[in-house]
Amino acid sequence: MTSHPVATATERGESFVLNWTNITFFAVFHLLALLAPWFFSWSALGVAILLHWLFGSIGICLGYHRLLTHRSLQLPKGLEYAVAVIGALALQGGPIFWVSGHRRHHLDTEDINKDPYSARRGFWWSHMLWLFYKRPEFFGYEAYRHYAPDLDRDRFYRWLDRYFLLLQIPLGVGLYLLGGWSFVVYGVFVRAVLLWHSTWLINSATHITGYRTHNSDDNSRNLWWAAILTYGEGWHNNHHAYPNVAKAGWQWWEIDMTWWAIVLLQRLGLARRVVLPPS
């Protein structure tokens, strides 16, 4: 994969400029999630947990990450598109943006300039602050599309990358029809905030603490509680050592719920060419 000629702000000797659009967006979602106690019901909480798993494990971990970024398995194209839509509903960016950023993370892991969420800038930078600045080399479509050319060639993925935010409208309407505002508060805002911070822990916590099974050229770690919150992604040292392997948890105690879904798809004859750990 060739690097794109757009230089980083640090390489150009510039200071970062705050992105108030992103800051406002994340602030509004966090504030609306705080309404949860006034809209609580057990069914609404159940919706939040269900969608956290569906959008997080199936959409992000299986779809955006193991399928689209690393091509650790193959699915029929229609099912691949469906899983990508589920990933887009997680509100973590369009597929081309997400895949590009993660490929760059692997290409220059922890490089303070080239890794979008380099852990060398500190926990809070890699956790969320990287999203709060205008960095066209990472957030500009003309820059990031070069790191996901396979997706950029696909008209559907270009559409999904551009309009993924609009998917929250039918989601919100559907939740309101099913359970009123409590379902909307928990199914959209509480779920989004919890899923964001779960996913961001992989960028932050698993590059700071945990155990190392493999001597990868970075500080990636296996962190059990992060793996539970992210359906297997917390076995991050395993992943960085063998990024194209579909199974993140290698030992019997390394619980990997996303891998269970891949095994089910494989037994149904839907998942093919699943990349396994080396023997």
SS3 sequence, the chain? CCCCCCCCCCCCCCCCEECHHHHHHHHHHHHHHCCHHHHCCHHHHHHHHHHHHHHHHHHHHHHHHHHHHCCCCECCHHHHHHHHHHHHCCCCCCHHHHHHHHHHHHHCCCCCCCCCCCHHHCHHHHHCHHHHEECHHHHCHHHHHHHCHHHHCCHHHHHHHHHHHHHHHHHHHHHHHHHHHHHHHHHHHHHHHHHHHHHHHHHCHHHCCCECCCCCCCCCCECHHHHHHCCCCCEHHHHHHCCCCCCCCCCCCCCCHHHHHHHHHHHCCCCECCCCCCC
Mean pLDDT taken over the chain: 94
- What's the rounded mean pLDDT across residues 222-233? 98
Question: Residues 88-110: pLDDT tens digits?
Answer: 999 999 999 999 999 999 999 99
pLDDT at 16: 84
pLDDT at 198 over 80: yes
Q: What is the pLDDT of residues 48-59, one digit of tens each?
A: 999 999 999 999
Residues 213 and 238 sit within 8 Å (Cβ to Cβ): yes
Residue 13 has pLDDT above 50, yes or no: no
Give 3's pLDDT tier (boundaries 50, 70, 90).
very low
The pLDDT of residue 35 is 98
The tokens for 240 are: 């960085």
Q: Is the pLDDT of residue 170 over 70?
A: yes
Domain ranges of the chain: 17-267
- What average pLDDT does the segment 186-201 reach? 98
The per-residue pLDDT for range 121-161, each reduced to its tens digit, is 999 999 999 999 999 999 999 999 999 999 999 999 999 99
Among 224, 276, 277, smallest CA distance to 255 is for 224
Query: What are the tens digits of pLDDT across the range 47-86?
Result: 999 999 999 999 999 999 999 999 999 999 999 999 999 9
**pLDDT reading at 254 higher than 90:** yes
What CA–CA distance (Å, rounded) separates 152 from 51? 27
**Of residues 242, 232, 147, the one with CA closest to residue 198:** 232
Q: Give the amino acid at 110.
A: E
Q: What is the pTM of this model?
A: 0.93
